[in-house]
Amino acid sequence: MSDVFPDKYVIGLTGNIATGKSVVRKMLEHLGAYGIDADRLAHRAIARGAPGYIKVIETFGRWIVGPDGEIDRRKLGKLAFCAPEAMRQLEAIVHPLVLQAVKHLIQRAPHKVVVIEAIKLLETDLHKWCDAIWVVDAPPEVQYERLLKRGLSPEEARQRMQAQGSQEAKKARADVVIDNSRSFEYTWRQVMRAWSRIPAVRREPEKPAPQAAAVAAPPTEVRVEPATPRHAEEIAAFIARVTRGRFKPSRADVIARFGDRAYLLVRRENELVGLIGWQVENLVTRINEVYILPGQHLEPALRAAMDEIIERSRELQSEAALVFVHPAFYRVTQPVWKALGFEPKDPETLAQASRAWFEAAQESKPKGPSIMLFKQLRKDQVLQPL
């Protein structure tokens, strides 16, 4: 345990761009760690209303401000990745703010194990807070292909890869190296092995979060449990059943989804009656998938699952929760959502309250007809002016 956080075991997770750090962080979260994405906090630090916003504009000029009043991160990124001095100036503004936010989140987290994902972990004071350094590795050609899939041009991809520090130097300082060049399961096995060797885990295994009781049915009738990749086949079969074959994911498809979300299983006695896919990214809870058998299971299963997600989201210090549902599903379940404190909102209105909330809504919005339901979980926000 570090001197700064004597009651925590802190993992510093790093690696060059597109090696798959976020996937490994998500795996550690599945195993019971509290995850912090320091790079996302850096984005928050320069959002309109955040403490780094004015400083960045004063340093680089108003030309980097978009029509919505927010700093255009693509413009700023092009400048920073092309000019080392500009990158140093930007980091001098952002890094102290990120350190402050990370420290605040670790101190408030109830978890024994914390993982900090940061591409510049070793170049800042973040590594001094860590009990172990984990480096995620992938060959340059894999990184390049992943960047192209994210929408970067070949020139932008090469430029960002060239701007990185030495991956070999990072690996030389690592306590654990995770090879993320193959399948999800290959990476998952490495993470589980490394997790089992953590002193805090061996000494005091993480206790599962208390399960929320269903509101509309006795807890003996409806229970909620977290899923792991070993449930992938059952999850795939349930999705095919609920959608009557319109969606038929394979076991491999479901396992891949564990790279960016968690699943909750809702059972009535021994029967699986509901499945919720969800994630907390950048302190915003997103409910990505809702599959519940129709009929008598619908209301109690939805209530039980959402109660659990809200409770777990508060443990994870999430500021808000949002879900997009089909209008027909909303008409049937409207009383449940209202009782849970969710209300319909236009995603555009979230931009006035928080750039992070708005971006989460934009990223989560499905292509087809949908209604966004929103619930604010706490009033204070990380990285607001002090």
d(CA 274, CA 368) in angstroms, rounded, equals 22
Q: Residue type at 367?
A: K
Neighbours of 115 (CB within 10 A): 26
d(CA 324, CA 337) in angstroms, rounded, equals 12
- Give the residue-averaged pLDDT of 237-249: 97
209: CB partners within 8 A, 6+ apart = 311, 312, 315
Stretch among 133-137, 176-180, 349-353 having the lowest mean pLDDT: 349-353
Stretch among 124-133, 211-220, 277-286, 317-326 having the lowest mean pLDDT: 211-220
Whole-number pLDDT of residue 207? 46
Answer yes or no: is pLDDT of 2 > 80: no
Stretch among 134-143, 170-179, 217-226, 244-253 having the lowest mean pLDDT: 217-226
Model pTM?
A: 0.89
Whole-number pLDDT of residue 203? 59
- Work out the mean pLDDT of the chain and round it to a whole number: 92
Answer yes or no: is pLDDT of 47 > 70: yes
Q: Is the pLDDT higher at 384 or at 79?
A: 79
Are the C-beta atoms of 352 and 319 separated by less than 8 Å?
Answer: no
Whole-number pLDDT of residue 215? 43
Question: Using DSSP, how many helices (H) and how many strands (E) does the chain show?
Answer: 15, 12
CATH class, domain 222-376, is alpha beta
Answer yes or no: is pLDDT of 214 > 70: no
Select from 183, 274, 283, 182 the least CA-distant residue to 234: 274
Answer yes or no: is pLDDT of 136 > 60: yes
Answer yes or no: is pLDDT of 211 > 50: no
Are the C-beta atoms of 275 and 235 separated by less than 8 Å?
Answer: yes
Backbone angles phi, psi at 289, to 5 degrees: -140, 135
Percentage of the chain surpassing pLDDT 70? 94
Would you list the domain boundaries of the chain? Answer: 9-203, 222-376
- Give the residue-averaged pLDDT of 338-352: 96
- Give the residue-averaged pLDDT of 72-98: 93
222: CB partners within 8 A, 6+ apart = 214, 266, 267, 268, 273, 300, 301, 304
CATH class, domain 9-203, is alpha beta
